[in-house]
Amino acid sequence: MPRKADVTERLRLEARFKAELARLESRNSQTRWISFLALAVLLMGVGALLWRESFWRQETVDIRIPPPVLFVLLVLLILLVLYLLRRELEIRKLSLLSIEERLVTESERSAGMIDAVTHVFNRRFLRDLLQGEIARAERNQRPLTLVMCDLDHFKQVNDRYGHLVGDEILAQTASILKSCVRGSDYVVRYGGDEFLLILSETDEPGGRTVLTRIREKMAESERIQEVGMSLSFGLWLHKAGQSADQDVAAVDARFYADKQGVQTGSGAE
């Protein structure tokens, strides 16, 4: 199920990938030095075999193994070390490739979760997000509040100022919505100029406090006030046993009922 933790996990993978890459570069440097030393010892061993008198001025060495054989054994030992080191580096490379592929997959997955205009979650993942929050709320016996909202007369903004300005207003509105909720909450672009807020561990009074905060922020935005934009809201408190689809349908119905009440001057939400 896609969650905000996915983004955190991707960043952790990124950090781990960079650390592994730095270690790999360090090991490559060590491998070059060991290769140089192995080559030097190998040349000494060959020289000891070909020009024994030059390498061993005294024929008596306090060891049982003849010096040339000792050199050959040392060279073989170093070659074995190099082989094992090379094998370890190959394993690390494969590990890095695996991490890199996972990073690409997670990046693509994260990009697919986010709406390109508003940079909030898109509707595609709404059901998964909401099902997870419903399960958590019912498991912990905590409240869960949904808020549906949209920009009033948004079509007129597009018709008068153009779609670029409309996109700018949508992005600013989404930014305000995100600034008025907690990190554990979700802002989803439901469609067009409609947004759905998923407020975890929030009861109805808490949800209305969030709405008040949003209204205040909207009123403080010069650009939004310049084009005469405002938000309409509908609020719904999840009831135990309801599915994600039932909750969305309920908050949608509440939203349109309340919006119709505002438009007819009844003073509803």
Say how far apart CA 7 and CA 110 lie, in whole Å: 7
Say how far apart CA 259 and CA 257 lie, in whole Å: 6
User: Can you give the pLDDT at residue 219?
Assistant: 92
User: Can you give the pLDDT at residue 30?
Assistant: 57
What percentage of the chain reaches a pLDDT higher than 90?
A: 39
Whether the per-residue pLDDT at 227 is higher than 60: the answer is yes
User: Can you give the pLDDT at residue 84?
Assistant: 73
Least confident of 1-5, 100-104, 193-197, 254-258: 1-5
Whether the per-residue pLDDT at 55 is higher than 60: the answer is no
What mean pLDDT, rounded, does the chain reach?
78
DSSP 65-123: S-HHHHHHHHHHHHHHHHHHHHHHHHHHHHHHHHHHHHHHHHHHHHHHHB-TTT-SEEG
Mean pLDDT of 107-114: 65
User: Can you give the pLDDT at residue 269?
Assistant: 42
Q: How does pLDDT run across 121-135, given as a tens digit for each residue?
A: 888 888 888 999 999
Residue 34 gets the label, from left (phi > 0), alpha (psi -120 to 50) or beta, of: alpha
Where does the pLDDT of residue 234 fall: very low under 50, low under 70, confident under 90, or very high at 90 and above? very high
User: What is the model's pTM?
Assistant: 0.61
User: Can you give the pLDDT at residue 258?
Assistant: 80
> What are the start-end ranges of the E strands in the chain?
121-122, 144-151, 186-191, 194-200, 231-237
- Smallest CA-to-CA distance from 233 within 207, 266, 205, 206 is with 207
Say how far apart CA 162 and CA 10 lie, in whole Å: 37
Whether the per-residue pLDDT at 115 is higher than 70: the answer is yes
Whether the per-residue pLDDT at 8 is higher than 60: the answer is no
Q: How does pLDDT run across 166-212, given as a tens digit for each residue?
A: 999 999 999 999 999 998 899 999 988 999 999 999 999 999 999 99
* Three-state secondary-structure class, residue 185: coil
Mean pLDDT of 19-29: 59
Least confident of 20-24, 92-96, 176-180: 20-24
Whether the per-residue pLDDT at 15 is higher than 80: the answer is no
Say how far apart CA 109 and CA 106 lie, in whole Å: 5
Query: Distance of CA 250 to CAs 91, 179, 236, 237, 267, Å?
Result: 54, 25, 7, 9, 20
Whether the per-residue pLDDT at 138 is higher than 80: the answer is yes
